[in-house]
Amino acid sequence: MESDEMLAVFDREMREHARPDGPGTRVGRVGDVVRQTGGADDWNGVLWTAPGLSRDRAEVEIAAQVEHYTALGIPEFEWKLYAHDSPPDLGALLSAAGFAAEPPETLLVAPVADLVAPVELPEGLTLRRVTDAAGVELMVRAHELAFGTDGSRLRHRTLAGLADAPDTFVAVVVTAGDEPVSSARMEMHPGTGFAGLWGGGTAAPWRGRGVYRALVAHRARIAAERGYRFLQVDATDQSAPILRRLGFTALGTTTPYVYRTTP
């Protein structure tokens, strides 16, 4: 499949016809956008905008989403802007409305079959499947060590995924003895052919030693066993080069525009 064909499939399956990513969320099209709404600890935001959206309509939709999430008391929400979205100056319109742009990410996709490989970790490391609250705490600690950010939202998302979607949610942690050094998750989307890879952060002392690659191979194996065709990643500048070497193809970029309703 060519890149433009793959992007069209991704837009249709994962954005326009997106499914809720948790039991407490709902997804639907309202006007010219598709948005997800959940609780304060869920991911809230706009996933898709209608092709050919005019500048005037975009301004109307931006105001409507700000009103929607603010009225619900959601502390922040995201407008997930892809480089090919319309209008061309949508990012500028979002900034003018009070959204803050975060670092752009690369949308990468690869056939699952091309990524199934041996899971090889450095000596002394163990990959564990996360299945309970104790494992979630290890995963959160690994996340905080890797990214230096609070893991409260990850804790909420992982506990919910394990409890409510065990057949489509996978979480793993890598440990050195009892100490977590890396973690990752995979969210599979039935009926789409896509499984999304998330996280994959590794503590600084263990970077550059194949841990991230092993986590990709482990999740690819699970996705293949369950019949998924593609793996998708929104990759940072740190992980994108690794994923390209593994065979992922860049379909474009996506920039999170975040609106915070409280200081």
User: Do 130 and 195 sit in the same domain of this protein?
Assistant: yes
The radius of gyration computed from the CA coordinates of the chain, to the nearest angstrom, equals: 18
Burial (Cβ within 10 Å: 0-12, 13-18, ≥19) of residue 150: exposed
Please compute the mean of the pLDDT values over residues 237-246 and round it to a whole number: 92
Which structural domain, as residue segments, surrounds residue 194? 116-246
Show the tokens assigned to 125. 């490391």
Could you give the number of structural domains in the chain?
Answer: 2
101 contacts 257 by C-beta, under 8 angstroms: yes
Whether residue 101 is found in the same domain as residue 125: no
Nearest Cα to Cα of residue 243 among 143, 106, 54, 55: 106
Q: What pLDDT score does 181 carry?
A: 96
Question: Do 26 and 57 reside in the same domain of the chain?
Answer: yes
DSSP letter for each residue of 131-188: -SHHHHHHHHHHHHHHH-S--HHHHHHHHHHHHH-TTTEEEEEEEETTEEEEEEEEEE
pLDDT grade for 263, boundaries at 50, 70 and 90:
low
**What is the pLDDT, as a whole number, of residue 22?**
79
Q: Where residue 204 sits, what CATH number does that domain have? A: 3.40.630.30
107 sits in which H/E element: strand 105-111
In this structure, are 127 and 101 located in the same domain? no
Based on the domain organization, do 72 and 135 belong to the same domain?
no
- 126 plus 101 within the same structural domain: no
Q: Tens digits of per-residue pLDDT, 180-216? A: 999 999 999 999 999 999 988 999 999 999 999 999 9
Q: Of 21-25, 50-54, 140-144, which gets the smallest average pLDDT?
A: 21-25
Structure tokens, 260: 């915070």
Asked if residue 152 and residue 223 are part of one domain, the reply reads: yes
Average pLDDT over residues 154-173: 92
Based on the fold, state whether residues 138 and 227 are members of the same structural domain. yes
Question: Is the pLDDT confidence value at 58 over 80?
Answer: yes
100 and 129 share a domain? no
Q: Are residues 125 and 86 in the same domain?
A: no
Tens of pLDDT, residue by residue over 76-96, are 999 999 999 999 999 999 999
Residue 100 sits in the same domain as residue 13: yes
- The reported pTM is 0.91
Q: Are residues 146 and 178 in the same domain?
A: yes
